[in-house]
Amino acid sequence: MSADEPRAAIETARSFLFVPGNRPDRFAKAESAGPDLVILDLEDAVAPAEKERALHEVVPWAAAHGRCMVRVNGLSTPWGRSELEALRGAGVPIMLPKSDRVADLLEAAELSGGAPLLALVETPRGVQAASALADSGMVARLALGNVDLAASLGVDPASRAALAAARSALVAASAAASLPGPVDGVTTALDDPDRLVDDLDHAKEMGLTGRLCIHPRQVGPTNTAMSPSPAELAWAQGVLDAEGGGGVVVLDGAMLDAPVFDRARRLVARSRASRIDNI
């Protein structure tokens, strides 16, 4: 894997599937579910007494498998720094939880030897700092930790109204910093496929372009929803076919100008990235 590939994997991923870092028997099963990235979780999924053992399981597996990343513990915990140092030089992307300070991103990058970072924004302070995090040059992408954020706000993590401002903040910050669309949080209802599809449609409408998954059953619908649909691609190709030498074009009664052409190009590029990632 080249130095650029781990960052590109974060930038283009549609689905991220968590698996507990102390369950190595599930690592390959998670990978076989087809997520764009498996997240080997050393944080919330692992009890304190299991942290050290989980790290010993995660480091060699992550170094040998290209389609994974590691969620470490935060720098304010007893484990975060040693985990980042253990992953140093492995070329493995890192998810940094509770991201709310640029200084923490800088320290995480230094301790990990420059590993690509996905900043998990899951605190009110993190939402306020979204623009600074995105502009720091230290992250490949932002992600929303909706469950922890909702707990801090005292709201239901499934409430779209309560978290609309947070989602919009991450989308705007990412666009302003020329980062890919952010990654949405999780659907905690595991046995409600209709809810999952509805949540995915809402995330896509808000401008998020990836999603965190907590069960293998969520991966397939996520990959489908977060890929440009055939109708979207047909629209994009029609727009690009109509593009002339600049200025405004009218197609099927709709005005097309530079921003519309840019959106069409982004849709086509995302589709190509999805096909390449799944070869």
In this predicted model, what pLDDT tens digit does every residue of 44-67 receive, in sequence order? Answer: 999 999 999 999 999 999 999 989
Q: What is the pLDDT of residues 106-146, one digit of tens each?
A: 999 999 999 999 999 999 999 999 999 999 999 999 999 99
Residue 138: DSSP 8-state: -
Residue with tokens 């099963």: 29
What span, in angstroms and rounded, lies between the C-alpha atoms of 7 and 180?
11
Axis crossing angle, helix 146-153 with helix 160-176, rounded to the nearest 10: 120
225-248 residue pLDDT tens: 998 766 666 666 666 666 766 666
Q: What is the pTM of this model?
A: 0.86
The mean pLDDT value for 251-276 works out to 64
Distance of alpha carbon 60 from alpha carbon 81, whole angstroms: 18
For each of the domains in the chain, give its residue range(s) and CATH number, in order of start.
5-226 (3.20.20.60), 228-279 (no CATH)
Q: Which of 9, 13, 15 is nearest to 219 (CA)?
A: 15
In this structure, what token pair is assigned to residue 30? 């998670």
Decide if pLDDT at 217 tops 60.
Answer: yes
- Res. 265: pLDDT tops 90: no
User: Residue 190: what are its φ and ψ, rounded to 5°?
Assistant: -80, -25
pLDDT band for position 1 (cuts 50, 70, 90): very low
Q: What's residue 6's pLDDT?
A: 86
Percent of all residues in the chain with a pLDDT value above 90, rounded to a whole number: 76
- pLDDT for res 258: 64
Distances (CA, A) of 233 to 186, 230, 270: 27, 5, 10
What is the reported pLDDT for 260?
Answer: 60
Sign of CA dihedral 34, 40, 43, 45: positive
Question: Which of the two residues, 181 and 266, has the higher pLDDT score?
Answer: 181
